[in-house]
Amino acid sequence: MKLASAVVPNDDIEVEVEYEATTISQYPIAEYSIGEDAVILHLTTKHTDCLAKELCILPSNSCDGASGCC
């Protein structure tokens, strides 16, 4: 961690672990601990989000099912 301080000025950055087997998975690091001979990363789940919301979100006047209009 001390070596990285020259490149990464603080520890308040988002880091993800990407793993590929049959599919690609990304796991954000929720927390970490540093031992004498290991760095332990505690991973969490990641939820996807639409990257083009202005193109894929239904207009506010459309039926959403919960309103009972359908």
Domain membership flag for residue 63? no
Domain membership flag for residue 10? yes
**Tens-place pLDDT, residues 24-39:** 888 888 998 988 999 8
Q: What is the pTM of this model?
A: 0.47
**Tens-place pLDDT, residues 2-60:** 777 777 777 677 778 888 888 888 888 899 898 899 989 999 988 777 777 777 766 66
Residue-level pLDDT at 19? 85
Number of domains in the chain: 1
Start-to-end C-alpha separation, the chain:
56
39-43 and 16-20 strand pairing: unpaired
Domain membership flag for residue 38? yes
Domain membership flag for residue 67? no
Residue-level pLDDT at 63? 64
Q: Domain residues for 19?
A: 3-56
Measured at the CA of 35, the angle between CA 31 and CA 46, to 5 degrees, comes to: 20
